[in-house]
Chains A and B, each alone.
Chain A
Amino acid sequence: MTEESLPSEDELVERLKNNDAALFERVVKEYHSSMFAVAYSIAGPAIADEVVQEAWISAINALHKFEGRSALKSWLIRITANEAKTRLRKESRSVSLEAVDENWATDTRFTEKGHWAGGNPEWDISSPDDLLAADELQDCVKKHMVKLPDNQQQIINLRDVGGLDMDTICNILEITASNARVLLHRARDKMQQVVARFQRTGEC
């Protein structure tokens, strides 16, 4: 959500390769946040900042080789994820993340007859834009994202924040496609619960 949107991919890459520092600054401001979320989920809070810094430096040095076969953002996210993995192998994680209830089978959001009862009616009126306007909700989601189990946190950040496709994600995380889909759904479902509760009660 920067002031103005970036130029088209082709133009963007072309100008970045031709020393357009002002544009580079806008790119940093646009994508840094997603890169940070990915770094945080894979490498942990202690070194996330360094990982992103290193990822940018790798990207700057490799930019002349970038061929535009993927979007620039995907390329940056991939570099970040790989940097995070490399760092993680060198250092053990400093913070153990609080586990979230994994009790999928006995989900209380279903009625005894197996009907879904977990939504909330008032919410139908809000469009995605209304949601975005709620900074408090964003903060609430962020707070709960970091409580997801590691693997769920990684996948939802790579997929929904970072915008990578599932094949790339499976490669990065070294998991199967079906496993990835299950983990992604669990993570999204938990975030949906956070959003639904916030909308219903106004509390995080």
Chain B
Amino acid sequence: MLSCKHTIAQGTDYLDKELGFWRKVEMKMHLMICVNCRRYVKQLKQTVVMLSKGQFKQPSEQQVEQLKQEYQDVASKQ
């Protein structure tokens, strides 16, 4: 039986589908019976989803305008 510690340590590999077949089966079995680890994996997943969709810093209007200008200058030369 996989320990909680081991399960937690494999959380990232599990989410990223990097575990081998038997590792994955062991992990799923542990998650089936252990509510705490199940919650952990769920929280880890939600964290990853949040990071992938999060907005960290928007460009300023000025930056956007500058880049658009640059884009148009380059495009017109090609």
Contacts and interface: CB of A to CB of B under 8 A. Distances in A.
Contact of B50 (A107, A138, A166): A138
B78 A64 contact: yes
Contacts of B47: 141, 188, 191-192, 195
Nearest to A196: B43
Contact of B44 (A110, A124, A192): A192
A24 B54 contact: no
Contact of B48 (A29, A37, A116, A160): A160
A33 B55 contact: yes
Interface residues of B, number: 46
A37 B46 CA distance: 19
A189 B42 contact: no
B64 A188 contact: no
A147 interface: no
For the side of the interface on A, what is the size category?
35 or more
A40 B54 CA distance: 15
Interface string A134-176: 0001100110000000000000100011010010000000000
Contacts of B8: 116, 189
Given A116-B40, A161-B56, A24 B11 contact: no
Contacts of B57: 32-33, 36-37
A142 B56 contact: yes
Contacts of A138: 50, 54-55
Interface of A: 1, 19, 21, 24-25, 28-29, 32-34, 36-37, 40, 52-53, 56-57, 60-61, 63-64, 107, 110, 114-121, 123-124, 126, 128, 131-132, 137-138, 141-142, 156, 160-161, 163, 166, 181, 184-185, 188-189, 191-192, 195-196
16 contacts: A29-B64, A33-B56, A33-B58, A36-B56, A52-B59, A56-B67, A110-B4, A110-B5, A114-B3, A116-B36, A132-B53, A141-B50, A160-B52, A185-B12, A189-B12, A189-B44
